Amino acid sequence: MRQLILICLMGMTFFSCKNESSVSTSEGEVALPTEIGPPVDPSTLTIPSSCSLISAEEVKSIFNAKEDVTLKDATDPRDKFSRACFFRWDDPDTPNAGIMIQLQTNSVYEDYPEYIGNYIANKIENGEMVMGNTQPMKFKKFDAKGRPGAYSFDQGRFYWALDNNYLVSLYFNVSTLDEKGMIKAAEKIVSKVNSNFAKAVY
């Protein structure tokens, strides 16, 4: 079911100013600023390419993929509020093995400026409706390296807010991972994504 949902999401996606408060970490990565400001008009924001948030080699290492990882920009050119990227590799145990990373800003800013800031709490409190289900899918809390996050192992989905203006969605299609393994992989991806985002935006 998780694989089918992710493939559908990918199919819909395919077709359908810097701040000195960021600091270097001991591993040479860059941390997000600790102070989070109020939401701002998304038309004034830069949205980095999701394909630039982690490299193919880093994804290959995280998942111990035997084959090279390929990248495909999955951004809908009609959507000015988000960028998406699909990372895939061959795996005999998981057809269409891969992950998708989406970075988005607030598309409903005029009506709901706090949408990004409240997104994670809403997922944990109310869940998410999934096609074919009559009850919302529940989400658990996820620590995205100091940023609030939520995840559903059953759906292979992780969400986290970088601040009040940017939201990251991470979709897994890797059937060989148990819940602990998926969380561990997500934590490694979060470190790379947060660091590269900080370099590009702050």
The pTM score is 0.86
Does residue 47 carry a pLDDT above 80? yes
Domain membership flag for residue 23: no
What total number of domains does the chain contain? 1
Residue 195 maps to which CATH number? 3.40.1000
Domain membership flag for residue 25: no
What are the pLDDT digits (tens) for 127-141? 998 888 888 999 999
What are the pLDDT digits (tens) for 93-112? 999 999 999 999 999 999 99
What are the pLDDT digits (tens) for 153-201? 999 999 999 999 999 999 999 999 999 999 999 999 999 999 999 999 9
Q: Which domain holds residue 96?
A: 2-12+42-201
In whole angstroms, what is the distance from residue 10 CA to residue 171 CA? 10
Structure tokens at 57: 């080699």
Surface-to-core class of residue 111, CB atoms within 10 Å of its CB (0-12 exposed, 13-18 middle, 19+ buried): exposed
What are the pLDDT digits (tens) for 12-43? 443 333 333 334 454 678 999 999 999 999 99
